[in-house]
Structure 1
Amino acid sequence: MTLRELAVASSAKTLETLRGDIVRRYEELSPRLQQVAKYVLENPNDMALQTLAVIAERCEVQPSTIVRFAKTFGYEGASDMQELFKDEMLTQAPSPSYAERIRQFSRRAGAAGALAPQDVMHEFADSNILALEHLKSSVRKADLERAVEMIAGASAVYIVGLRRSFPVASYLAYALRHVDKRAYLLDGVAGMLAEQSTMLTSKDLLIAISFQPYAAETVEIVGSTREQKARIIAITDSRLSPIAAASDLVFEIKDAEVRQFRSLTASLCLAQSLVISYAFDMEKRGRVR
């Protein structure tokens, strides 16, 4: 078999397989290739539509680094890898990538200079609309249904989300209790987070929420929960998040960010959707009074 044939045989044949390969091998990559990996995962439309020079500039690496990345995953060159992204785009309705729309929005917002309170509100509203549209198009029906099944099948649901993630975690605990689901918020009051997490058993479900910069405590809880054989749903901002690899199901959420202030609108929308879907499912089965 020739070197070209070996490369083709070892390369991923679908984009989903390539994404899985990147996540699995991420820690093995050099810092530069890790930089490319993050860009490839987060900017699929750019990978399909842009030239190698543009991708390299946005990724802040040399074009040769993109080529090296492609060869690392078994492709003869970057163009062969890009074909997977083009094929996926052909099966979907064409639309600007989320990253590109955010870039356009940021350029418009940055040109506005000093803003009145109403202008600030409009910026946040517009940015959150983009985030919610991305949520609608990126979260898969099968993943939502699987998450509801996992909640329904769990003896109890434990939720952890610290610092910026805390509002999402506290909402989930509050809302699940109101639909008669045993739910416990791991809030770490009095430094008891580790002790709280020891209550989890293999029959339970952990929902972990964490965004950059990832809370080390949440990562530790996910790791210990994996050892206890409990199932885990992660709500995070990247497939390369440290809580993603150990999780059974990952929701990758891109919340709005305006002038370095981050919103939680999309994450809360997902949380509410999961709780209400679970409630409807229980009502259908006659389990909710």
Structure 2
Amino acid sequence: MTDVIELINQKFDSFTHSQKKVASYIIDHLENVAFDTLEDLAAKIEVSTTTIIRFARTLEYKGYSEMQKDIQNTIKNKDSLPHRVTDMVNMPSDTLLKSIFENELNNINKTLSAQSEEDLRKTIDLISDANNVYVIGMRSSFSLAYYMTSRLGQIKKNIRLVQSSGMMFPEEVSGAKKGDVCIVFLFPRYSKTSSTLISWLKEKGVKIILFTSFNNAIVKGYGDIIIPCAVSDVTFKNSFSAPICLINYIVTSVLQNNYEEAMEVLGETETLLSHGYYLGLI
């Protein structure tokens, strides 16, 4: 039995645009693909049946049926989340430490190699010039959204974290308009709430900066600028070391662009902190 997902990840960079679209759909909808006919799958991905057959042959299958059989076996034998956690817990500590660090470094290096200098420059200019910056991240990606907001909010005014407290999503972005920017962290499994908010913001003329995974064909249309990140992990959740490195770079670059505003915001913050914000000696 072949691990279809592992095969796809190994060959992903060599795929054509259409093949990447097929690969991304399969990764994100594995359970559905296991039972779809060739015609149904082609209609859902909006490619030809020939494209899917060629994709299967690129993975060294004889055709779609053989690939689908392996997908069915993958689902049947896929470890449950508790099982994966148990395997991780039983891993020797020295092996676990080395594996995690090697994986993080690999993610960072892959992410660095995948960046477009032009897109990063556009990102920095958009954020620097924006009237308001909205930051969105659901579930585990909220940690990245919070980190971006806390760092960017120290050097620029009008940084707005969409916190979703009490299901306040519409009200939190209702004032967004042309001239604003939204930074979105969207990784598999993709949040439907995030995609709904992004679509609405785009209709309002808000520019979308989308941090997402390498296999992003399904969500690529949501972003005006795509920032690809490697987020694979040796445990059971996405790794966010690479996105954090990019956040640090972007925030520092925005500071360089908007030095006077950054100094003003930092100065106001220090004035507030000097009024006894911290306990202890003055």
1:56 paired residue among 59, 80, 93: 59
SS of 2:152's partner is helix
Given that residues 282 and 288 in structure 1 are in contact (C-alpha distance below 8 angstroms), is that contact kept between their aligned partners in structure 2? Answer: yes
> Per the alignment, do residues 187 and 30 of structure 1 end up closer, same or farther by CA in structure 2, a change over 3 Å counting?
farther
Q: What does residue 262 of structure 1 align with?
A: 238
1: CA distance, partners of 2:171 / 2:49: 36
Q: Is 2:230 aligned against 1:288?
A: no
1:241 paired residue among 196, 218, 221: 218
SS of 1:160's partner is strand
Given that residues 279 and 288 in structure 1 are in contact (C-alpha distance below 8 angstroms), is that contact kept between their aligned partners in structure 2? Answer: yes
SS of 1:288's partner is helix
1: CA distance, partners of 2:167 / 2:157: 26
Q: What does residue 122 of structure 1 align with?
A: 98
- Number of equivalences: 207
Measured after TM superposition, the shift of residue 182 of structure 1 is 1.7
SS of 1:260's partner is coil
Amino acid at match of 2:106: L
Does 1 or 2 have the higher relative contact order (CA < 8 Å, sep 6+)? 2
SS of 1:239's partner is coil
1: CA distance, partners of 2:49 / 2:166: 38
Where in structure 1 are there 5+ consecutive unaligned residues?
1-14, 40-51, 66-111
Q: What does residue 47 of structure 2 align with?
A: 29
> Per the alignment, do residues 287 and 185 of structure 1 end up closer, same or farther by CA in structure 2, a change over 3 Å counting?
closer
1: CA distance, partners of 2:136 / 2:98: 32
2: CA distance, partners of 1:212 / 1:34: 22
Q: What does residue 127 of structure 2 align with?
A: 151
Q: What does residue 187 of structure 2 align with?
A: 211
Measured after TM superposition, the shift of residue 20 of structure 1 is 8.4
> Per the alignment, do residues 36 and 140 of structure 1 end up closer, same or farther by CA in structure 2, a change over 3 Å counting?
farther
Given that residues 256 and 265 in structure 1 are in contact (C-alpha distance below 8 angstroms), is that contact kept between their aligned partners in structure 2? Answer: no
Where in structure 2 are there 5+ consecutive unaligned residues?
1-12, 23-41, 65-87, 264-282
Measured after TM superposition, the shift of residue 32 of structure 1 is 9.0
Measured after TM superposition, the shift of residue 270 of structure 1 is 1.2
State the TM-score, normalized to the length of structure 2.
0.65
Identity among equivalent positions (%) equals 18
Measured after TM superposition, the shift of residue 288 of structure 1 is 3.0
- Tell me the C-alpha RMSD between the 2 structures: 3.2
Amino acid at match of 2:217: L
- Deviation per CA, 1:131-151: give whole Å up to 9, x if none: 011011111111111100110
Structural mapping, 1:9-48, within 5 Å: 19=17, 27-29=45-47, 33=51
Measured after TM superposition, the shift of residue 152 of structure 1 is 1.0
Q: What does residue 11 of structure 1 align with?
A: none
Given that residues 152 and 159 in structure 2 are in contact (C-alpha distance below 8 angstroms), is that contact kept between their aligned partners in structure 1? Answer: yes
